Amino acid sequence: MLKLRGGIAAIAFICLSGSGHAADPLAVGRQMLAEDNPGDLWVLRGEKLFYEKRGPKQASLEKCDLGLGPGKVEGAFAQLPRYFADTDKVQDLESRLLTCMIGLQGFKREDVIKTRFSDLDRDSDMEALVSFIGSRSNGLKMNVPLSHQKEKEMFKAGEYLFHRRNGPLDFSCATCHSEDGKRIRLQDLPNMSDPRQMQAVVATAWPAYRGTQSTVRTMQHRLYDCNWQMRLPDLGYVSDMSIALTSYLNYSGNGGVIQLPGVRR
Amino acid sequence: MDVLRRSFLKLTAGAGVLTAAAAAGLVKSGQTWAATWNKSGFESKAAADALKSLGASNLIDSKDIAITAPDIAENGAVVPVAVTSKIPNTQSISILAEKNPFPLAATFDLSGGSESYVSTRIKMGQTSNVRAVIRADGKFYTAVKEVKVTIGGCG
Amino acid sequence: MAEPMKIRATLQGDVADVRILMLHPMETGQRKDAKGEIVPVHFIQSVVVTHNGKTVLDAQWSQAISRNPFLGLRVKGAKAGDKMSVTWTDNKGDKRTDEVAVAAAS
């Protein structure tokens, strides 16, 4: 047991010096998974769902405006979150899809929210749709706008929330995510005040296929999970807090070349 | 568990293959083979029993078998494992995770059309040797690689 | 009918590099669902790959193969346009067949 711990500590030290290294014992596994990503199957299902006539109104999502005009999917992920005039608010991808599923297809808000995150016995349409739309920005650079007054306000709110300590552990996001070379066990923690790291992180997750969850998880799920890790109350799905954090984080990743869905532990 | 009757596999049979095949539970029907799902092998709790079910009595250690797998697997549920065999006339590749409750994970029968290479992902319950077993010309060759399985971090 | 696989088959010289992603729960029979009931064992037992109709790989799987499984193989003597077909069969007798044409190296 002691021998193993010593070995892991030694290996972890190598990990700290950067992933993608020849000496990195995690690199082989990560690369093999990335080359053939089960998340691609979510992209296929999401595409089917996007163009299928569904819901009480028996309509597809082809008229859904994700910021570039109705039905324009290419490049949509790269510029979210952003302000939408028709709802007069800043929306991320998931809240915008929710708007369209309710408005265009007639789904009930509570029904969509009930199945927003899949489990091993039930799929989530949202996870597939996010995978599909994310993939249609592949090769493009993150380009989240910060021009409208409400976009600026959301960004500032997100920045504040990112640094605000709260909850029983007195953690903020920054507690774990503001220094280089930090990790929890073998999980590297990106330094979110470093634009270079943010470009790599934001453009390749989320959405990402998570091996431990056997599904694609989205940004909303990641933030929900972080909240859970910090022992905070449940983060409301597509709540202002979640969108503020997403605005702040996605904008920090501007310039990153998108490759989605990613693959994570 | 239902015994599964698989599709017929055309093989050019040499005497060595016949002996090993009979031991492995294959049934000859003219020039074609119908293999049944290796129930006893997949339900063996000991690696030794699983190997016996494959007909692998004399395992020869071989440096001509390459196992590509992570030194440390971030997640024991999805451990990528690829096996490449440079042994001539490789007919089948089996993969075992020796410390799994049921060590035998898969057997791949190759015809002449396939290179001696397979890649898949296995579940590993704990740090363990991953063993590749190659059947070639009626003989059995093997190599191992240790894969460490960790508890992860944040989530 | 089961969800479609994603199959990529790319030529490298005269070898087709074939990569298959499948959607399948690969249940071990050990897991309990949200109601606390055991989810029955349910996994792919057989995968057969053919090249222009000729079997090139015949795999037997246990429930130790990962959920949403992956299979990679390399097929000799392939040309662009050749047909690669993959069929999986699970312990319940469900099947799925998908096929692709081998793509020339890009």
For residue C91, give the nearest of B1, B9, B117 by CB distance. Answer: B1
- pLDDT score for C11: 97
Q: What is the mean pLDDT of chain B?
A: 82
H/E stretch holding B139 = strand B139-149
Q: What share of chain B is helix, strand, coil (3-state, %, to 5)?
A: 15, 45, 40
- Domain ranges in chain C are 6-26+40-101
The enclosing H or E element of A30 equals helix A27-35
> In 3D, which of A204, A49, A232 has the Cα closest to residue A128?
A49
A220-248 per-position pLDDT tens digit: 999 999 999 999 999 999 999 999 999 99
CA nearest B114 in C: which residue? C75
Record the tokens describing residue C46, joined without a space.
């057989």
Residue range C23-39, pLDDT digits in tens: 999 999 999 998 999 99
pLDDT of residue B31: 30
Residues shown for chain B: 155
DSSP string for residues in A37-72: -THHHHHHHHHHHHHS-BTTTTB-STT-BSSSSBT-
CB B73 within 8 A of CB B149: yes
CA nearest neighbour of C97 among C1, C10, C8: C1
DSSP B82-122: EEEE-STTEEEEEEEETTSSS-EEEEEEE-TTEEEEEEEEE
All domains in chain A, ordered by first residue:
29-264 (1.10.760.10)
Dihedrals phi, psi of C63, to nearest 5 degrees: -75, 0
Q: What is the mean pLDDT of residues B35-62?
A: 93
What's the DSSP call for residue A206?
S
Tell me how many degrees the CA angle A249-A254-A256 measures, rounded to the nearest 5: 105
CB A133 within 8 A of CB A76: yes
Q: Which residues pair with B80 in a beta bridge?
A: B121
Q: Label residue C94 by pLDDT band (50, 70, 90).
A: very high
With 0-12 CB in 10 A as exposed, 13-18 as middle and 19+ as buried, what is A91? buried
- pLDDT the model gives residue B151: 66
Please judge whether A29 and B154 are an interchain contact, meaning their C-beta atoms are less than 8 angstroms apart: no
Q: How far is B93 from chain A (nearest CA, A)?
A: 19
Contact A41 C72 (CB under 8 A): no
The two tokens of residue A121 are 């016995």
Put simply, the answer to whether C21 touches A38 (Cβ < 8 Å) is: yes
Residues 6 or more apart whose CB falls under 8 angstroms from that of C12 comprise C105
Residues of A with CB under 8 A from a CB of C: 35-38, 40-41, 44-45, 119-121, 214
Q: What pTM does this model have?
A: 0.88
Q: Which residues contact A234 (CB under 8 A, 6 or more apart)?
A: A224, A227, A228
Helix, strand, coil content of chain A in percent (nearest 5): 45, 10, 40
Task: Confirm if A251 and A154 have CB atoms less than 8 A apart.
Answer: no
SS3 of residue A160 by DSSP: helix
Distance, in Å, from the CA atom of A5 to the CA atom of C27, rounded to the nearest integer, reads 32
At B58, phi and psi to the nearest 5? -105, 100
* pLDDT tens string B66-112: 999 999 998 999 999 999 999 999 999 999 999 999 999 999 999 97
SS3 C31: coil
Do residues C26 and C65 touch, judged by C-beta distance below 8 A?
yes
> What is the mean pLDDT of each successive set of 10 residues along chain A, which is 265 residues long?
41 40 79 97 98 98 98 98 98 98 98 96 96 98 98 98 95 95 87 94 93 96 95 96 98 97 95
Residue A20's pLDDT is 42
Token pair, residue B30, equals 């003219």
Name the architecture of domain C6-26+40-101.
Answer: Sandwich (2.60)
Axis crossing angle, helix A219-229 with helix A93-103, rounded to the nearest 10 = 120
Q: Which residues of A are catalytic?
A: 226
At the topology level of CATH, where does B9-149 sit?
Immunoglobulin-like (2.60.40)
Token pair for A16: 């700290």
Q: Which residues pair with B34 in a beta bridge?
A: B27
C71: nearest CB among B37, B77, B120: B120
Whether residue C33 and residue A121 make contact (CB cut-off 8 A), yes or no, is yes
Residue B13 has pLDDT above 80, yes or no: no
Chains that touch A (3 or more CB pairs under 8 A): B, C
